[in-house]
Amino acid sequence: MAQSSSNNGGTDQVLVEERASVRTIILNRPKQLNALSFPMISRLLELFHASEGDSNVKMIILKGNGRAFCAGGDVTAVVHNVRQGNWKLGADYFREEFTLNYLMATYSKPQVSILNGIVMGGGLGASVHGRFRVATEKSVCAMPETALGLFPDVGASYFYSRLPGFFGEYAGLTGARFDGAEMLACGLATHFVPSERLPFLEQALGKVNTSDPDVISTIISRFSNIPKLKAESPYHKMKIIDRCFSRRTIEEIISSLENEALNKKDDWISSTIQSLKKASPTSLKISLRSIREGRLQSVGSCLVREYRMVCHVLRGEFSKDFFEGCRALLIDKDKNPKWEPSRLELIRDDDVDRYFSKIDDEDWEDLKLPPRSNLPPYAIAKL
């Protein structure tokens, strides 16, 4: 087995292993929980393009070094750049990342992501769009963007809106964490393999000489099992989730949860209400609309819209909540963000509309997604 690495500013942030027809790509910033830096995203784009054009590569395995698959995008670096006065540097980061998400979503060869640990934000974008996602008992995933003053991005308005019922609205608005069993139950993972079996799974996949997803799925299934959901899992609360998170507005969602709380004492309902009340009001409003629009859009349309949204967030014309959220949670870590506007009722519909419009800047352009061809049926379905 040959191993090579990408040399990014003197650090090997992405490693590559070749085994017969399988290319294994390893995210390698374990101290930063494999948070995606700009050089990592550029290198991943390069590797995915090259692998697609290489007839010797039949399949890609993507995994992380250490206790995380990937804890998301390196947003502190993005915030640092934007604070230097150039929001477009931040926009460049998201443009590259969303282009990678699109390439993964429409990839002509199977991508097997091994999610043995933490999977947050951009880590979901780098895996859920791929064909196979293997969770383990060590998996924990979330998109906590509304607590950061952002919104579930990286194509989450596409994949969250396609979870059962209104589970995607619940997951995206509250930033709830899910374990491997829950990821499998809701469809974020396609398989669950106990972590001690992963070396044997990788060994079996290393012998594959086909891109046939049925063959690969059969191999993964040999090592898989169906784990039991814990008693307190939110997945057991689907009736309440569908009743409350199907409401038209954030205000109505919170109000219906509060009505549920009057009828029965339930710690899950109280903590869900608390999560919503702690989040950025602006983030909640734009996130709900984004997921709702995503239900009816292709993965490409979702990413183009999310790119517009993230550019508005970076410009901070209506709200600077993203910078405040990053300060409070990631930089100063006082966990006490001061949102502005501070209440849902201070945000009008036309304030929300602004996030979905083109940027008023002559140098700005919409996200241009690469043309795709010769796609397998499961990728065509996303278009």
Sign, CA torsion 242/146/62/178: negative
Least confident interval from 15-29, 72-86, 146-160: 72-86
Q: Distance between CA 78 and CA 209 in Å, rounded?
A: 40
Q: Of 122, 149, 168, 300, which is the active-site residue?
A: 122
Q: What is the pLDDT of residues 202-255, one digit of tens each?
A: 999 999 999 999 999 999 999 999 999 999 999 999 999 999 999 999 999 999
Catalytic, 155? Answer no
Instruction: Give the pLDDT band (50/70/90) at residue 2.
Output: low
Query: 179 and 140 in contact (C-beta within 8 Å)?
Result: yes
Q: How far is CA 38 from the centre of its chain?
A: 16
pLDDT at 342 over 50: yes
Q: Distance between CA 165 and CA 169 in Å, rounded?
A: 9
| Average pLDDT score, the chain | 95
Q: Of 17, 64, 72, 73, which is the active-site residue?
A: 73
pLDDT, residue 4, reads 55
Classify residue 85 as left (phi > 0), alpha (psi -120 to 50) or beta. left
Give me the mean pLDDT over the 253-274 stretch: 95
pLDDT, residue 266, reads 92
- The one-letter amino acid code at 203 reads Q
18 has which bridge partners? 2, 23
Query: Read out DSSP for 326-366?
Result: HIIIIIS-------SS-SGGG--HHHHHHTTSPPS-TT---
Note if the bond before 227 is cis, omega within 30 degrees: no
Beta-strand pair 178-179/140-142:
antiparallel
pLDDT at 153 over 50: yes
The dihedrals phi and psi of 33, each to the nearest 5 degrees, come to 55, 35
Instruction: Give the pLDDT band (50/70/90) at residue 282.
Output: very high
Catalytic, 122? Answer yes
Q: Distance between CA 296 and CA 306 in Å, rounded?
A: 14
Catalytic, 353? Answer no
pLDDT, residue 378, reads 87
Integer CA distances (angstroms), 234 to 163, 166, 167, in order:
14, 12, 9
Give me the mean pLDDT over the 303-313 stretch: 98
pLDDT, residue 8, reads 46
Give me the mean pLDDT over the 339-353 stretch: 98
Q: Of 145, 169, 179, 324, which is the active-site residue?
A: 145
pLDDT, residue 81, reads 87
pLDDT, residue 7, reads 45
Catalytic, 145? Answer yes
Give me the mean pLDDT over the 145-169 stretch: 98
Query: 153 and 125 in contact (C-beta within 8 Å)?
Result: yes
Record the tokens describing residue 177, joined without a space.
Answer: 């964490």
Q: How many CB atoms lie within 10 A of CB 137?
A: 14
| Residues 6 or more apart whose Cβ sits within 8 Å of residue 172 | 143, 145, 146, 151, 152, 156, 160, 287, 291
Record the tokens describing residue 39, joined without a space.
Answer: 């050089």
State the maximum Cα–Cα separation within the chain, in Å, rounded to a whole number. Answer: 61
Q: Is 112 helix (H, G, I), strand (E, B) or coil?
A: strand
Give me the mean pLDDT over the 278-291 stretch: 98
pLDDT, residue 10, reads 31
| Residues 6 or more apart whose Cβ sits within 8 Å of residue 179 | 137, 139, 140, 230
Q: Distance between CA 287 and CA 379 in Å, rounded?
A: 25
- State what percent of residues in the chain have pLDDT above 90: 91
Q: Of 17, 74, 97, 153, which is the active-site residue?
A: 153
pLDDT at 112 over 80: yes
